[in-house]
Structure 1
Amino acid sequence: MSSIALWGTVIAGIVVLTPLADRIRVPLPVLLTLFGIALPLLPGTPHLSIDPDLVLPVVLPPLLFAATQRSTAREFSAQARPILLTAVGLTIASAALVAVVAHAAGVPWAVAWVLGAIVAPPDPVAATAVARRLRLPGRVVTVLEGEGMFNDATALVMYHVAVAAVVAGSVTAGEVGLDLALALVVGVAVGLALGWLGHVVLGRLRVPAAETTVTLALPFVAYVLAEELHGSGVLAVLSLGLLLRNVSHTSVSSGGWLLGRSVWEYADYLITGVVFVLIGFELTSVLDGSPVGAATLPLALGVVALLVVLRFVWMFPAVWLLERGLAARAVRQGVPADVAGVGAFTRRETTVISWAGMRGVVSVASALALPHLVGSGDEFPHRDTVVFVGLMVVLMTLVLQGLTLAPVVRRLGVGSTVDEVAEIARLREEATRAALESVLARDDVPAPVREAVALQYEGYLTAQRALSQARSAGDDVEGRYGELVDALLRDATEVERGVVVRARNEGLASPHVADEVLADVEARAVRDLD
């Protein structure tokens, strides 16, 4: 099998497994990892690898930026304390304890810290996929996503310092402190500066393809520039993404926002899928190249057990301390306890967050990015052991926790009472009504113009209200009005498509005209059905 055929097989596997994961209710990362283990076992399959120097700069910027576009700074600030307790405190504690265990198993301290930094950060991809499917409370999803982003920054700063210590041969406490300070200050400064620059540039382009090109380039520029200046590329991308998420929507055109959203969703999907498939290939490569020692598998099992237990041991006291602090603040401020956030996380929700500790993309990428040689020209010490243990931790947590998270959530009965469909309908109506009122209040335009625009908004508002009422009626014999509404809308959409495509194929309309109409048809289908 050629390399091109292998990459084609990998992409085909990702495509096929995506709907299968939804059908059998298994997180996609789990299936992709198992696929990556099985594929190298086929006869004639070549090794699939990426240059270690390119792994982090290529993989992390798009994934981190895409993650920032799913949340807002306000959501993170509302859950800042639990996010910091996990993303910073738990990540450092995990890395430190793993380093102690690895050193006890014969790994030098600096290399042990490298391993600790690799396996410390959980990945929110599998957890949030389950969380959204089972409609977990929004605060739980926010904590998991916030932890997933900011623990990457914490872990990767430790990772870079530890790798530098191994490559250089030694490092002083002062050098470590300077590296950490530079990583924080320079990383955030670069991200905010490029975010402001991007906001200005996007406001002047107004061309969807050009706008999307800018948003695609900025995360890579931020990461590379911050790393060149000895800052944290991860913090630069996170700062850039959160700033643009909050200020750039008014800068880009409607077409640019829609195109950019689609491009980032696709990039996130494809890169994440490839990285999980690479786990199996790299495990096979490590085992084939130099079989691991007898103590390596027990070390991997011990690290997994430590990380699972530590997360529970950390989370429950942390939530208790958080509750005590919020209760004290409520007393000082004279506000009700529930307003101050006391009782926000129940024991069941804390259990779910504790169990959602699957490792993933960042652990894989940082393991694959380990250099093969140190500064003296010798091989990176215990590299195969570190890579094997790191990837085994990802594999075992994905299989153990990824496959059981959904049953745990169902068993505990943790769920959100918020009806997202109703929320979407409410906010959509609120926005449409506000636009209609602003149009009707415009006395500076001719009446026919005002009435024409107002009629469009009135028609849309009336249609959305009617669809919402029809979906919620549900008093028919089979109780599925919502399904019938969607089915009828799909049938009507197919009729529209048929008319337009037939006109294009028969030469009754030019391709450009037909595509413009199809764009409108598909946009309404996405809005009303997807």
Structure 2
Amino acid sequence: MLEGLVFLLIGLQLPAIVADLHGYTTNQLLLYSVTVSVVTILIRILWVFFSTYYPRLLGWSTASDTDDRATAVDWRNVLIVAWTGTRGVLSLATALALPLTLSSGQGFVQRPLILFLSFVVILVTLVLQGMSLPLLIRLLGLPPQTDQARTDQALELLLASRSLAYLENDFPLDLRGELKQTLVRRYRALVHELDATLYQTYSAPDLVTDQGLVNQQWAAERALGHYQQTLLVALATEKHFSDEVLRTAERRIDLAMARLDASEQAAPG
């Protein structure tokens, strides 16, 4: 509704605004339009890149190398975000709020020019950038995949790498025999596969057959599940991933925990 109102205002105001531009030549209006549009687009691009990468540029990022790869943002995606979106709507609202006359009673001389340039910025960013977006995507060579799926995979890699570090360094359970090393090998293989291709279905074989070690395996997997749930809560406060992506990972962990409960209940004895 708001976008419709904006274009309605443009349609109603533009003929009168153009009629009031009699003090400017066509070349002047063209020069002003190109200059303002180019500056607006460049500032948008610079700001999006800066807001995306400034924590790493200023040394504020403390994540590990694996975490950096998991949460890394492709500069091509950043450029597409910077290229999309209509600019000038807020400027148009501000320009329309300018008074017709000054306090002295004299007319606001450059008001028609300001309104006209606001219209031009909206037109350029909507039509020129919008129509060139498919060409830009093809030139950048982005693979045909959804951001949602790729972000899910990046979060899976982050959870696996953090879980591996937790298992190797701070795991609270004293596991018998080779069980801990088997779990470590499983998570190392998972991290390696995810890091190589960002996602690949991984199905680990049954670790042990001895019931005593099976019980320990279940306890270890439950501890890792609780750790990953705690990690998701921490990631939610850091805003690296969207709520939807975090909820998807949470459902995946909850399902694994539910299957673990079912396995324990079905176990003999």
Please indicate the TM-score interval, normalised by the length of the shorter structure: 0.3 to 0.5
Between structure 1 and structure 2, the one with the greater Rg is 2
TM-score, normalised to structure 1's length? 0.26
TM-score, normalised to structure 2's length? 0.47
Higher helix share: 1
